[in-house]
Amino acid sequence: MKKGGLKEARPQLIAVENLSFSYDKRVLALDRASMSIPRGRKVVILGANGAGKSTLFLHLNGILRPKSGRVLVEGQEVEYSRSHLSELRKKVGIIFQDPDQQLFSVNVFQDISFGPMNLKYPRAEVKRRVEQAMEITRVADLQGRPTHQLSHGQKKRVAIAGVLAMDPEVIILDEPTASLEPCLVEEMMQLFETLHQAGKTLIMSTHDMDLAYGWADLCFVLNQGRVVAHGSPEEIFSDQPLLRQNNLQQPWVLKVREKLTAMGLLAASICPPRTEAQLFAAMNCIDSSGMKSNLSPELYLASNTTAKS
Ligand SMILES: Nc1ncnc2c1ncn2[C@@H]1O[C@H](COP(=O)(O)OP(=O)(O)OP(=O)(O)O)[C@@H](O)[C@H]1O
Ligand SMILES: [Mg+2]
């Protein structure tokens, strides 16, 4: 795990250099934040409430303008003229933390079609994009509904559909799964996986540490507007002092793995599991290596139950 941001000689897809911003001069929402994001990665930005995650995101597609420092996309510094911003937003789409900030059209279909219409795509192409986006986010049945009447979770999915209809290369997801029911979270994560497989770069903030740990391939930690650490999920989530200092919780699979290791049931050399499935697979290894007599009946039952599921 490395302290601070990531700086490399080669231009990255997105680079943030010494970015500072304050809304009202009293609090620095971003304080010389630096980071580099390579193309095609699944990036998670971690940090306590007020750490600066949303403020950072609003800089990545030019909604906010830095007080100092700069943002570069493909090595080009972001410019804030109308035409440059329009180009930037074709490339970098953002799903706001609060969907009420994102949805403003009368109904769902109009809202999702707003972006592609604005980009002046032919009518048939707009329709194709909107229908595809509605299908993957499962909001087609809501298309005639007034946006203000939707539930929070429905609004969130419509907001995601609106960004997908623009087909940006980089998708910023500010707490995309907050307030979604569990099976929709799973569906949403599958959707993000499909987008990742299609070559998109995804940048997400979340307070769900289990989700972040299982999903990301690169993590940044923000604290009071500063990037205080970056690294792989394994590096970040095995650093207990870092987690404590930044009010981040250890994912449950790591807690269980630690407990099993302390009990002598799992070898310390076993690669840390990232997901429930990997943890249970590790537990099944113990089982088949003849150590099952060391497992309590509950644990033994658990490992066997999950092996079947
Ligand atoms: N519109 C605003 N006006 C004034 N201050 C703001 C505004 N939005 C955010 N801030 C302040 O900027 C700082 C960073 O806030 P930000 O919303 O970026 O944090 P965050 O990491 O996204 O938090 P959360 O996890 O709660 O979403 C905080 O101190 C916050 O109070
Ligand atoms: Mg936020």
Predicted local distance difference test score (pLDDT) of residue 300: 44
Predicted local distance difference test score (pLDDT) of residue 84: 94
Mean pLDDT of the chain: 88
Q: By alpha-carbon position, which residue is closest to atom 6 of ligand 1?
A: 23
CA–CA distance, 97 with 172 (Å, rounded to integer) = 10
Query: Radius of gyration (Cα) for the chain, nearest Å?
Result: 21
Instruction: Please tell me the distance between residue 72's alpha carbon and the centre of ligand 1 in angstroms.
Output: 22
Contacts of 236 (CB under 8 A, 6+ apart): 1, 46, 219, 221, 229, 230, 242, 243
Predicted local distance difference test score (pLDDT) of residue 2: 60
Predicted local distance difference test score (pLDDT) of residue 286: 66
Instruction: Please tell me the distance between residue 50's alpha carbon and the centre of ligand 1 in angstroms.
Output: 5
Domain 2-245 class in CATH: alpha beta
pLDDT in tens, 99-145: 999 898 889 999 999 999 988 899 999 999 999 999 988 899 999 99
SS3 179: coil
pLDDT in tens, 219-251: 999 999 999 999 999 999 999 999 999 999 999
Instruction: Please tell me the distance between residue 52's alpha carbon and the centre of ligand 2 in angstroms.
Output: 7
SS3 137: helix
SS3 182: helix
To the nearest whole percent, how much of the chain has pLDDT over 90? Answer: 69
Report whether pLDDT(166) > 60: yes
Distance of CA 130 to the CA centre of its chain: 23
Closest ligand 1 atom number to CA of residue 30: 14
Report whether pLDDT(305) > 50: no
- Cβ < 6 Å from ligand 1: which residues? 23-24, 27, 29, 47, 49-55, 97
Closest ligand 1 atom number to CA of residue 225: 14
Predicted local distance difference test score (pLDDT) of residue 168: 95
The residue extents of the domains of the chain are 2-245, 252-308
Task: Return residues with CB closer than 5 A to ligand 2 (ion).
Answer: 53-54, 97
Predicted local distance difference test score (pLDDT) of residue 56: 98
Structure tokens at 42: 């699944």
Query: Which ligand has its closest atom nearest to the C-alpha of 220?
Result: 1
Contacts of 55 (CB under 8 A, 6+ apart): 21, 23, 29, 30, 64, 225
Instruction: Check if the beta carbon of residue 43 is closer than 8 Å to that of residue 35.
Output: no
Residue 196: closest CA among 218, 178, 174, 179: 218
Whether the predicted model's global pTM rises above the 0.85 cut: yes
Mean pLDDT of 202-212: 97
CA–CA distance, 288 with 279 (Å, rounded to integer) = 15
Q: By alpha-carbon position, which residue is closest to atom 11 of ligand 1?
A: 29
Report whether pLDDT(253) > 60: yes
Residue 167: closest CA among 116, 122, 227: 116
Lowest mean pLDDT among 5-9, 44-48, 124-128: 5-9
The 8-class DSSP code of residue 144 comes to T
CA–CA distance, 108 with 144 (Å, rounded to integer) = 6
